[in-house]
Structure 1
Amino acid sequence: MATHRTRRPTGRLIAAGALVVGVGAAAGALVPALAAPGAATYTVTTVADAGPGSLRQAITDANDSGGTDRIEFAIPGAGPRTIAVDSPLPEITDPVTVDGYTQPGATPNTRSAGSDAELGVEIAGGDDVAGNGLTLADGSGGSTVRGLVVNGFTGTVATGNGAGVKVESDGNTIAGNVLGLDADGETAAPNRTAGVLVTGQGNTVGGGAAADRNVVSGNGNRLNLQSPVPVGTAGVYLRGGGARANTVDNNIIGPSASGDPVLTRGSTGPSLVQGNGVIVEAGAQRNVIGATERDDPGNVISGNATRGVWIQLPGTSYNSVSGNRIGTDLEGDGPLPGPTDPAAVQDSGIQISQDARYDSIGVGPDRSTEPGFGNEIAYNDNDGVVIGGTQRLATDFTDGHLIRFNTYHDNGGSDDIGIAINGDSGTPEQGLASPFERTPGLGNAPHDRNVTNLDEPTDFDTGPNNENNLVRLDPTTSLEGGRAHARGTVNTEPNATFVIDFYANDDPDPSGYGEGEHFVGSSTIDTDALGNATIDVLLPADENVTSGSAITASTTKISGGVTSVLPADAGELAGQLTQPPFSTGEFGKNSEVE
């Protein structure tokens, strides 16, 4: 059957019913667009790998045509139609909209949580197809890929392939797809490296509307699902210095479309396939994982084998993780349903390590000084957030990470760990004759994951986030007219200004140190020449601050001190209250509310 090709007159509106996502429009908004000279529609009418009417032929024809073309689908037969390719498809080198929702019977998602999308076209690779499902190569900027199931493509991080969709160009939209699962949205059919691999800039993965939501789960080592998943696999992978200003929002990354753990063929027990939810690395900058505005939906990032979000390596900086549910179920009301065996629970919520710098968690891409962009970080098996490694590495100077306004609870199993700075595999050090209490053995063995800073007088130690010293709240906090009166001290870097963020916890943390379940309020302090400051704050009234609850606090340096050197590439961030390299520390000891 021949490929159907419809030439459109220059300067006329696309025919009714044929709508294209306009570049720069709100994600998911379908708007009429003027057809460029030569723009055409190519209709895929067969599941054959090649020849007339095939997807391969449609891509080839669209590459040869000028303007922003469309590839639509009208493959006969009921149910999802599988295009099994024997070799990588041609790279897309000209702008095109590939719209799987044009296949008869296909419908986009309508749910506010999860996905009820019915997808009609599956693009399936195999063990011998060492490439990507679709590649948006140079020249394809402004393309859209929507309404497709893409799975089973092999390759490696080193070769730069093995992704369901690889995005090398700029300004593209990847929305409403299922990547790494079967067409049922429940069973793993992994792309070996990633569901989406982005090396370009200004791209959107997901979008603000329910119909934009991708399910990006099950991606990992396709050849042996029961072996430990390589750390270099992810649902969404933003890699390299060219990966800038991309947005990943409103996706399901890790769970199935229905919100359950992903099924693996032949599994006899709990297992996780996708290595990480999102990786941002190797020089990627100014990317947003989650909300760019306060009312954006954010992502659900849970059920991954190791980390929900991993930001790492030198040059990786100014990235934002905002407004997500990390470690929770789809609604953020509890953990993912299913086994509680640690082998089936995501390890850490967020990790930033190996010299990545100046990233932010919970404050939005513009680094707001007010709440509204916080992540819910809960039910992860180890840390909620870890800065640095899980071993003390003197060479890991990942620094300047701003962490505020998030919700932390039920992380670390019975140890409930919120923020960990440079988790240590041994007994915490006392520092240089430190008078502060040091409590070894906190956290999940063998790692003492909480309170591992040197916490030494005047805080001259260096390392991840400069290993800020802890807030020392009084053992008890009084209620005065329904408001908590927090008192305590800080001994940290001299002649510096810090914001102290206070959080309430419904159940005091078993470790004795806080997680940070409910943000309550903030106060600013200045340290003297010896690094001392007094805390005496009447916090705002808050329904979560009740007798028997606990108050804890964390510090974020905002100016002064001997280690505050504004990086040369701060640019427009210079002069902002929360500009880098001002770093957040761990939570201090709980103070019981009386």
Structure 2
Amino acid sequence: MKKSYLPLANLLLSMIILACPVFAGVLTVNDSSAGIVCNQTLSLKEAAQFAWDGSAMRNLTDGEKNQISGVTWVALPPDLNCAGAIWRAAVNGGVGKFATDFIFFTNGVNQINDYVLLGRDDRINGLKPNGSKVILDGTGVGNIDGITFMSFDDLIQNTTSSQVAHLIIRNFQRSGISAGYARGSVFEGLEIYGNGSHGIVLLGTAEANPRTVRIGGTQIDQRNLIYGNGLNGISIIASPSTDRALPQNIGILNNYIGTSNGTTDNGNSGNGIYLENTFGVVIGDAAGATRNIISGNNNDGIKIEGSQAYANEVFGNFIGTDSTGGGALGNSASGIALLSAAGSAVDFVSKTPNLIGKPGLGNIISSNNYGIFIADNNTSKNWIQSNLIGTNVGGNSDLGNTLDGILVGGGTSDNRIGGTGTGEGNLIAFNRRGIFADGGERNAFRRNRLFSNDELGIDLAPVGVTANDAGDGDTGPNGLLNYPVITYVNAQNSFVGIEGTFSSSPNQTYTIEFFGNTAIDPTGSGEGRNFLGQTVITTNGVGNANFNVEFAANISNTGTWVTATATDSNNNTSEFSQGRNICSLVRLTPAALLATASGGASSFTVNQSVGCGGYTPVSNSAWVTVTGSAGGTVSFTFAANSGAQRNGTISVNFNNGQFFTFVNFNITQLATGGCAYNMSPTNANIGSAGGPGSFSLSTTAGCTWTAVSNASWLIVTGGSSGTGSGTVSYSVQANTGPARSATITAGGQTFTIDQASGCTYSLNPSSQNLTGSGGNGTFNLTTSNSSCSWTATSNESWINITGGGIGNGNGTVSYTVATNSTGSARTGTITVSGQTFTVNQFGSALKAPFDFDGDGKTDVSIFRPNLGQWWYMRSVDGGNRAFTFGESTDKLAPVDFTGDGKTDIAFWRPSTGEWYVLRSEDSTFYAFPFGAMGDVPVPADYDGDGKGDAAVFRPSTAIWYIARSSGGITIQNFGASTDIPVHGDFDGDAKSDLAIFRPSDGSWWIQRSSNGSTFATIFGTSTDKRVPGDYTGDGKTDLAFWRPSTGQWFILRSEDLSYYSVPFGISSDIPVAGDYDGDGRWDVSVFRPTNNTWYLNRSTSGVATVTFGAAGDKPVPSAWIP
């Protein structure tokens, strides 16, 4: 866009006028007619144009002048076209781009069938004196927005602060309101419905992003009703690269979006609110006074996406419920979706997170398909806190989301769900699963209240409880961190004591959080209804740790089941532990007695949780007699022993109506003059690193013993012999081979050591990137010991092990990767003994264009107009084929219409609108009518079924007509009469998108088929040749053009919207881009008519030159280039 540079004096003058609009025009519309007519009444379009630039407006009549106040007038001679005196506003006479002008309406104006171009700082208020609202109706108006904010090619082009209030805006083919330069704008009291695109769309530009905008307000009469529109209710798209120094400060509050009255489902066909690369948009009221109702929409309630979408806030809204927060009114997809790298992975330190709720300002997110959906690579640093997910406004009634409360998808990282601060946890209940993570890492799930979900509270893929593994070497979401194991719970009225173990990586710190529950999952795994407390533990050299904690907790919070999670220092959180019922575990102190032969009396204490009922001690031995059980103490006597050593028990039986259990108190009585030995513990598990340990041996005084190891790697280091009770110490050497066992015997008792495998494994390389076309590869495996065995296992059906699937010692694993036909990039793994090899495959390989022999490579090919002949060189074998098919005036239209993987020779005949297709299978042809004279053929696979669809773009109406091969016809407005249609799957969903290039300003406009959103950017000029294609091999079409004047190719990467340029060709060449080497990446290439030579700059094998064609031939790969 052209920029103006003014002298300093003029700049200051402009700033003074901008800051201090001394004059302000008031324009009162009294005519419902459309357009501009020189009569005695004032129409809306006349008022808007006069307010836009009064000094440039045509002369006005007396009647029109009488509808305008606050204006300095200049009398002019009568105009021959109008009767009566004629007037014109003086320059800066109170109206125009330097003044704030107000447009009102008389009671007689009801409905206006017209669109409006609204000037800078001008304000429309449709509330009439009688309290009703003016209707702005787009029926019959054409392919245009209802109200468009105008921009100006001058110093103040990015400071529009126009306002629109109290109108009903409906039935426009495009958006209700479209604002490209909105700053300080207000949209309030509007009812916007039935429009073909968005309700309100705010667009960032190359110069500026929308800022300081308010949509709605704290008062009821400021509420907007935005429903039933063809795409999004509200769409805000910011530039990802310019004007990003300060937050946008856009507020969206107190609106009904997707419902006309807070109870009726009138959903927008797309998302309720769509944010792309925005920063500093607040949805809801940061003060907590008002909320949006975002419900009933046919996609997501709120969608936030883009690698530069950060610092957005969503506070206090009802998302998926009615206005009471008690009834279901769900959005069809997710309540909130965070996608496409939303967050701040690129600049993790300085960018603030997206906040979905915060203490005191949480959202209700219920009755949707998913509650919150977080997915895609690098979607990171999003904080989800203090929300009610799956419940009503009271948090106590079932309004569950159909699937998961929160889904954390593959590629996501560093997101925070809940938190450690007061009130930061979410309440997540009545969903399928509470939180499901099917990928990603460093996603923390802290202090949330999870209960009454159908399946697990926290589920790390694969679906279901993932069992703990020794050494915690498995991989997956959050590293599939092991969960704690609770071994004992003592719950009393005011406190709870919890003991247990945890096993993971050695010498690392972990936070264990504990929760009370009233029920658990049928699998035995718990949820986490009430947070009880936390402790921090550090594992030892073999990865083990114990915990023994006590927290102040009312028994009503502890409930009947206690669970725990673990979170490592990198913020990976585990699944919930198995639930431990407070009444299922009872401890006796002491647990056993070594009794003398002479007989006697003793006792033990029964420790049990409160409310678990009484107990009954029963002796199982005739020589043991229970004498009392009052106050939690069991007293007993044992008779003298005149024979051999003997064993007896007292069973303490418990039955509280839910659990029946018992605990035995063991009594070992010595023989007269004999020795008996008890060992505790009797076994130990030791990690591969080895280390020290000990066990105790109990006996009576005078009884001797010797400790003996049966393995050289298990060394007795202390207490190798003794008399009476003692302790045996030992040391286990490091293990570099497979798992092994050994024993120490002492006093006739056996202590067993099981040592983990010491085999270590490393992979080189550890990952591989492949195009959507698939391929094969290998990686090497190195082990610490030649006896270390391993098995390579593919975790995906599309990755196959072809060699080295099993072995011992070092080896090589070979694999193949299938073609990706899913439409999206995907990641898979091969696991080898706890090590992971990662395969990253780009999205669906965009079919190589103009591939007539089906080998996945573009073929050199020409159309000879004077003979109607097609010639192509088969890349598969170098042979030539030729067909006579068509005439010189036909439009080339070669795509794969039959879905056999080969491009079919085809053309469209403008004179008749007929399509002719020569089947690649058998060289027979078929024809059918579709289109009219003046149309532009744009065949492509729009429905994603692998077959090309006949399609035309009609410039006269900017309408696309698509005959879907899967059935039906799509008719869609997109573009303007002077636009040029372009081909491509720009969002990588295996469907071609509607897209145009606008020569007037060098802009590209794309309507993504994946979600209906529109993307626009400026890239190139009118004289450049458009050559969009997948040059980077990520499965998405990149914007690209070739500049004849310099021979430069410019390619805008779809991955990150950065661009690069390549010099290739001269001004007289014709660009013929395609994938000539079949590697899934398009190659910059040209055809030189002067010598009929093709120059192919292949991405994998360098430049090739091919002579093919004759003077006057048209290279087929240039078919889509005007």
TM-score bracket relative to the smaller structure: 0.5 to 0.7
Tell me which amino acid in the other structure corresponds to 1:193: G
Partner Cα distance (2:565, 2:451) in 1: 15
The reply on whether 1:142 has 2:212 as its aligned counterpart is yes
Partner of 1:387: 437
Deviation at 1:545, TM superposition (A): 4.5
Partner of 1:483: 495
Match of 1:100 in 2: 188
- The question of whether the paired residues in 2 share the 8 Å contact of 1:278 and 1:309 is answered with yes
Answer yes or no: is 1:282 the counterpart of 2:309: no
**Displacement after TM superposition at 1:406 (Å):** 0.7
Q: How is 1:236-385 mapped onto 2 (pairs within 5 angstroms)?
A: 236-262=302-328, 273-285=331-343, 286-292=352-358, 294=359, 296-305=360-369, 307-336=370-399, 345-363=401-419, 369-380=420-431, 382-385=432-435
Report how far residue 541 of structure 1 moved.
2.9
Offset at residue 499 of structure 1 (A): 0.4
Secondary structure, in 3 states, of the residue corresponding to 1:458?
helix
1:567-582 matched pairs, under 5 angstroms: 581-582=570-571
Greater shift, 61-70 or 83-92, is seen at 61-70
Query: Residues 13, 525 of structure 1: CA spacing in aligned structure 2 closer, same or farther, 3 A cutoff?
Result: farther
| Alignment partners' CA distance in 2, 1:191 and 1:402 | 33
Answer yes or no: is the 8 Å Cα contact 1:500–1:522 preserved in 2. yes
Paired letter, 1:71: Q
Task: Return closer, same or farther for 1:90/1:527 CA change in 2, 3 Å cut-off.
Answer: same
Structure-1 separation of matches of 2:544 and 2:324: 52
Residue number in structure 2 paired with 1:552: 563
Query: How many angstroms does 1:315 deviate by?
Result: 1.2
Change in 2 beyond 3 A, CA 1:122/1:68: same
Q: Which one-letter code corresponds to 2:449 in the other structure?
A: T
1:87 and 1:481, CA in 2 relative to 1: closer, same or farther beyond 3 A?
Answer: closer
Q: Is 2:417 aligned against 1:406?
A: no
* Deviation by residue 1:441-480 (Cα, 9 ceiling, x = unmatched): xxxxxxxx2x224x11010111100101121101x41136
Distance 1:13 1:543 in 2: 65
Tell me, yes or no, if structure 1 residue 590 matches structure 2 residue 579: yes
The CA deviation at 1:542 is 3.1
Per the alignment, residue 69 of structure 1 pairs with 161
* Aligned pair partner of 2:234 in 145, 161, 165: 165
Letter paired with 2:459: A
> Which of 392, 399, 422 pairs up with 2:461?
422
Name the SS of the counterpart of 1:544 in structure 2.
Answer: helix
Report the secondary structure of 2:185's partner residue. Answer: strand
Once the two structures are TM-superposed, the CA of residue 96 in structure 1 deviates from its matched residue by: 4.2
Which SS does the other structure have where 2:479 is aligned?
helix
Cα separation, 1, equivalents of 2:396 and 2:180: 41
Give the superposition deviation at 1:164. 0.8
Aligned ranges for residues 435-514 of structure 1 at < 5 Å? 449=464, 451-453=465-467, 455-474=468-487, 476-479=488-491, 482-514=494-526
| 1:184–1:526 Cα change, 3 Å | same
Q: Does structure 2 conserve the Cα–Cα contact (< 8 Å) formed by 1:42 and 1:58?
A: no
Structure 2-normalised TM-score? 0.37
Cα 1:260–1:486 shift into 2, 3 Å: closer
Task: Check 1:94–1:533 CA distance in 2 against 1; reply closer, same or farther (3 A cut).
Answer: same
The alpha carbon displacement at 1:173 in A equals 1.3
Q: Are the equivalent residues in 2 in contact too, given 1:250–1:300 (CA < 8 A)?
A: yes
Bigger Rg, which one: 2
1:186 aligns with 2:273: no
Structure 2 contact 387–426 (Cα < 8 Å) conserved: yes
Deviations 1:48-82 (A, max 9, x none): 2369xxx967543588987453424355xxxxx45
Task: Return the offset for 1:538.
Answer: 1.2
1:151 is matched with: 227
Structure 2 Cα separation of the partners of residues 261 and 62 of structure 1: 43
Q: What is the deviation of 1:42?
A: 2.6
Counterpart residue identity of residue 577, structure 2: G
Q: Which residue of 2 aligns with 1:110?
A: none
State the 1:323 CA deviation.
Answer: 0.6
Contact 2:262 2:293 in 1 (8 A): yes
Question: 1:164 is aligned with what amino acid?
Answer: G
Q: Which amino acid aligns with 1:400?
A: R
Superposed, 1:164-243 pairs within 5 Å as 164-169=233-238, 170-181=248-259, 183-199=260-276, 200-209=278-287, 211-220=289-298, 233-243=299-309
| Higher RCO (CA-CA < 8 Å; seq separation 6+) | 1
Name the CA shift for 1:418/1:39 in 2 (closer, same or farther; >3 Å): same
1: distance between equivalents of 2:97 and 2:200? Answer: 28
| Cα 1:557/1:300, change in 2 over 3 Å | same
- Equivalence for 1:34: none
Partners of 2:331 and 2:493 in 1: how far apart?
A: 51
CA contact (8 A) 1:63 1:94 kept: no
Letter matched to residue 310 of structure 1: F
Alignment of 1:44-63 (within 5 A): 44=126, 46-49=134-137, 59-60=148-149
SS of corresponding position for 1:466: helix
Q: Which consecutive residues of structure 1, in runs of 5 or more, have no partner in the other structure?
A: 16-36, 76-80, 102-120, 155-161, 221-232, 264-271, 337-343, 364-368, 389-395, 425-448, 559-580
Structure 1, residues 181-228: CA drift from partner, whole Å, max 9, x if none? 2x21222222222111001111111123455411111111xxxxxxxx
Give CA-to-partner distance per residue, 1:520-570, whole Å, 9 cap, x none.
100011111211111111122334355x61111000012xxxxxxxxxxxx
2: CA distance between counterparts of 1:142 and 1:174?
11
Q: 2:38 maps to what in 1?
A: none
SS in 1 for 2:537: strand
Change (3 A) 1:145 1:63: farther
Q: Which whole-Å CA distance do the structure 2 matches of 1:516 and 1:47 have between them?
A: 52
When the two structures are superposed, what TM-score results if normalisation uses the length of structure 1? 0.68
Q: CA deviation at 1:290?
A: 3.0
Q: How far apart are the structure 2 equivalents of 1:545 and 1:134?
A: 47
Q: Which SS does the other structure have where 1:539 is aligned?
A: strand
Deviation at 1:85, TM superposition (A): 2.2
CA contact (8 A) 2:101 2:123 kept: no
Q: Which amino acid aligns with 1:239?
A: E
- Distance of aligned partners of 1:74 and 1:411 in 2 relative to their CA distance in 1, 3 Å threshold: closer
Using a 3 Å threshold, how does the CA distance of structure 1 residues 246 and 143 change in structure 2: closer, same or farther?
A: same
Structure 2 residue ranges without an equivalent (≥5): 1-28, 30-43, 52-69, 71-93, 103-118, 128-133, 217-222, 239-247, 344-351, 583-608, 610-1122
Cα distance change of structure 1 residues 345 and 73 upon mapping to structure 2, 3 Å threshold: closer
1-structure distance, mates of 2:149, 2:96? 21
More displaced 10-residue stretch of structure 1: 197-206 or 369-378: 369-378
Q: Is the 8 A contact 2:301 2:331 kept in 1?
A: no
The 1-side partners of 2:125 and 2:493 are apart by: 69
1:527 counterpart = 2:539: yes
Contact 1:8/1:39 (<8 A) preserved? no
* 1:11 to 1:479, Cα distance in 2 relative to 1, 3 A: farther
Give distance in 1, aligned partners of 2:192 and 2:97.
32
**Taking every aligned residue pair, what percent have the same amino acid on both sides?**
26
Q: CA RMSD in A?
A: 3.1
Q: Deviations over 1:347-375 (max 9, x none)?
A: 11001111101101001xxxxx4442010
Shift in Å at residue 310 of structure 1?
Answer: 0.8
Q: Alpha-carbon deviation of 1:504?
A: 0.5
Higher strand content, 1 or 2: 2
SS at match of 2:478: helix
1:111 matched residue in structure 2: none
